[in-house]
Amino acid sequence: MKVIKGLAGASGYAAGHAVVFSRTVIPTDKKKIEDPEAEITALESARSRYVRSLGLLAERARREHGEQEAAIFEAYREIASDDVFFDEIKEKIRTERVDASWAIEQKRSETESVLDGLDDPYLKTRKDDINNVCREVTAELQGAGAADPIAEAGGDDLIVFAEDLTPADTVRLDRARLKGMVTEKGGVTSHTVILAKLLGIPAIVGTGPMLSEVQNGDEVLADGGSGTVVLSPDAAGRQGFLAKQKKAGLRESLYAECRAKPARTRDGFSVRVDVNSGDKESIETFNADECDGVGLFRTEFLYMGQKDYPSEEFQFEVYRGMAEKAGGKELIIRTLDIGGDKQLDYMDLPKESNPFLGFRAIRICLSRPELFQTQLRAILRAGVYGNVKIMFPMIVNLEELLQAKSQLEAAKRELDGRQIAYRRDIPVGIMVETPAAVLLSDILAKHVSFFSIGSNDLIQYTTATDRMNEKVQYLYDSCNLSVLRSIRMVCRNAHANGVQVGICGETASEPRLIPLWCALGVDELSVAPPLVGRTKYIVGQVSKKEMEERTEKLLASGSIPEAKQELSGILGELGL
């Protein structure tokens, strides 16, 4: 029996058999060529095929998992379509009369060295994306295009072991046979973890070197919640694991029973449990009977894969359809939240070294009134058909909020002039996802109907941590006391002004934090659809009053480990 420890990426239990994914080594030895132009033609042909394949992967990821996963392939496509980058490769082929594979490898290596020497963590992490693109273009050039990493493995209970899995690898995996994932590299926000959570399977990442200890077909027990993998377990280990798995199965049955019921704490505090939506599949599968509404409806998917801005009518039909499906339950539509990290050709957005701090979201909308008002008019019109609300993202000061509301009034005047029906009293809220919005929340609350805390970005901006950078993963922590205190401040300021508060990041469904959200009086939690039942169940086990008495002590602690220990202890007391 061998035990492997890693980071707890995605919780869950899986018993199955190992399949080791070893990436094919693509030769890049230097070779002299006779016809540089023919070599360049072959390179361009391979690059074109690869770009087309990325487009298909992006559409599949968008359809199956939403914009966050699709954006990864859009970023890859941007790199693969970068003529400046590949022009230098072609120049090397011409001047040195060398084969394209070697020229790509030289350019990749040079770029990696440059990025490693920079202080900018975002640019450093782009190194991995560039490496993956170069490797896959080279594979396409040599006729060794990527395929399902587990296609040749037998069995239907496979747990894949790999050094790392690229976004393309994760999308190509046979989901029907995949039961879990274990990687030597990666952090808790890696593509592997994102996919595992969406599929509801365990993922253990960042184990360090371990592939030499794993053989295809090895019996595997994977516990994603503790980040533990057991190879070739003995009878006692297997029995203990199966007992945990059975207990988890019983718990899942309890969660399923709660899905269609209202969420109330033991002392009667109600919490709405909504779902996140914003892609074709989630719209098609949305069931208003199993949630309290849609707490975050992302609209970016309407703009992706288009040749021009989506029309008012096109958007209106989508929003109206969703409002009608919600059947009177709230539908919170976030206005366009796109930026330099998601490039759309027709939007002509600037390429930025750090797009998360750049021209994005409300900043784009305020600078392009026609784009903004087209969307606002569509949302206003859809408001006639249900309980629709508007939410502005990335607000960092009062001036931005007032400008956005002014644009909303302009959209109303346009509809009045056209004599088109719309909801005149549509509720307006904002995303609270930056320290600036937190510190101004007492002022901002006087101008909105609700706040929605975007905890993913709030953690990132508060801790100055790129959540996709493995080297600073230890700082990206949902239990960071600065973040938790920030959320307490937002709740206090909101409630003092009669404004409701929701949370729509991943922390909304994090079990150990749900009792804390109840204590702080969070009114709404917006979660991934599969997590509605679990979230409601945990709310039902909590006493808000009892948690309030413990919260101040917890938030007074200066120690993240102490806070985690206290929160885990509370969860244990609740039988979880």
What are phi and psi for residue 337, nearest 5 degrees? -120, 80
- What's the DSSP call for residue 308? S
Q: Cα dist. 431→13, 294, 299, 378, 439 in Å?
A: 34, 15, 14, 20, 13
- What's the DSSP call for residue 339? B
| 177-21-142 Cα angle (round to 5) | 115
480 assigned binding-site residue: no
Per 3-state DSSP, the chain is made up of helix, strand and coil in percentages (nearest 5) of: 55, 15, 30
Q: Which of 558, 519, 518 is nearest to 539 (CA)?
A: 518
566 assigned binding-site residue: no
| 555-559-561 Cα angle (round to 5) | 105
136 assigned binding-site residue: no
Single out the catalytic residue among 191, 291, 365, 479: 191
549 assigned binding-site residue: no
573: Cβ contacts below 8 Å, ≥ 6 apart: none
- Catalytic residue list contains 495: no
- Report how far residue 265's alpha carbon sits from residue 267's, in angstroms, rounded to the nearest whole number: 5
Read off the amino acid at residue 81.
Answer: S
Read off the amino acid at residue 339.
Answer: G
- What's the DSSP call for residue 356? G
Report CA 347 to chain centroid distance, whole Å.
Answer: 23
Q: Cα dist. 450→4, 329, 505 in Å?
A: 45, 16, 16
Residue 536, token pair as written in the block: 């409601």
Instruction: Name residue 273's beta-bridge partners.
Output: 525
Residue 492, token pair as written in the block: 């206090």
Burial of residue 247, with CB atoms counted within 10 A of its CB: 0-12 exposed, 13-18 middle, 19 or more buried: exposed
251 assigned binding-site residue: no
DSSP string, 99-130: -HHHHHHHHHHHHHHHHHT-S-HHHHHHHHHH
Single out the catalytic residue among 291, 365, 479, 504: 504
Q: Which residue in this structure is represented by tokens 């490496």?
A: 131
Q: Which of 286, 182, 179 is nearest to 228 (CA)?
A: 182
- Catalytic residue list contains 491: no
397 assigned binding-site residue: no
Which residues carry a binding-site annotation? 298, 334, 433, 456-457, 467
Which residues carry a binding-site annotation for Mg(2+)? 433, 457
* Residues designated catalytic: 191, 504
Which residues carry a binding-site annotation for phosphoenolpyruvate? 298, 334, 456-457, 467
